[in-house]
Structure 1
Amino acid sequence: MSDEITARNRAIAIEAITGVFIKRDTDVPQKLFNMNYTQHNPTIANGSVAIPELIRALPAEFRYEMGMVIAEGEFVAIHGRYTGWAPKPLIAVDIFRVVAGKLVEHWDVMQEEVPPEKTVSGNAMFIPAE
């Protein structure tokens, strides 16, 4: 795939995750998610109609921070920190498949954040984007 398609898909995934988790914009799913969006997170239903309800259910203290973004063709991976989604902050990689300008599929891998001083390496699990 071309660099232009990769860049466009990267921008769409960033706009989607920012719209859903930072701006909490319930109009974003209609604009950026395919109606038949396939969800691989076991706690979220398929379809773009599930996303506005997810947004409305976010607790007031919920916060999302974006880190690195990696894109290749129709796939975009975003490393991020979710605070307030679970009892402890979660570090995640959200993987999106983007086709014809819409998110059509999503996977994620999440784990509890361990502070750098409690890791064997002393390294942080997450570095926010600048």
Structure 2
Amino acid sequence: MSTPEQNKELVLTAFDTLFGKRDYAAAEEFWSEDYLQHSRHIPPGREGLFNLVRALPAALRYDNQLAVAEGDYVMFYGRFSGTGETASVVADVVRVENGRLAEHWDVWEDEATRAESASGLPMFADHFPHGRAR
């Protein structure tokens, strides 16, 4: 059985492999063939996720701000950008089983500009993204 720290590293590496490097063959080693997807934005299964990423611009970027793990669950707080649209701030929860990503849930929201932020604070990191700070 893996530790929560090992699970965090596994999921961080998996995300970098798929979203950063776009190495689908290597990503297959991280995602279970029976991967369950509980997302409003992502089609079912591993192939649904991979096909969505294939359809996104090559400039897609994932930046992680926070990773928390407990048992077999890992929660990431990060930003997806580079799609030509408003960046999205996402909380991802992944369940790890037998050393592979087995199940996923997310909460997904468009990143607010300074003008859109009721608090006046950025949603991600300590600054508003370049080009979105109106």
TM-score range, shorter chain: 0.7 to 0.9
Structure 1 runs (4+) deviating above 6 angstroms are none
Superposition pairs of residues 5-16 of structure 1, within 5 angstroms: 5-16=3-14
For residue 16 of structure 2, give the secondary structure of its aligned residue in structure 1. Answer: helix
Q: 1:106 aligns with which of 62, 86, 104?
A: 104
Gaps of 5+ in 1: none
Aligned position for 1:127: 125
Aligned position for 1:71: 69
Bigger drift between 10-19 and 57-66 goes to 57-66
Bigger drift between 114-123 and 36-45 goes to 114-123
1:57 Cα offset (Å): 1.5
Q: TM-score, normalised by structure 2?
A: 0.82
Identity %: 33
The superposition leaves residues 26-46 of structure 1 with CA deviations (integer Å, 9 ceiling, x where unpaired) of: 123321111100001134333
For residue 49 of structure 1, give the secondary structure of its aligned residue in structure 2. Answer: helix
Aligned length: 126
Bigger drift between 34-43 and 105-114 goes to 34-43
Q: TM-score, normalised by structure 1?
A: 0.84
Higher RCO structure, 1 or 2 (CA under 8 Å, sep 6+)? 1
Task: Describe the shift of the 1:121–1:103 C-alpha distance in structure 2 as closer, same or farther (beyond 3 A).
Answer: same
For residue 119 of structure 1, give the secondary structure of its aligned residue in structure 2. Answer: coil
Task: Describe the shift of the 1:19–1:12 C-alpha distance in structure 2 as closer, same or farther (beyond 3 A).
Answer: same
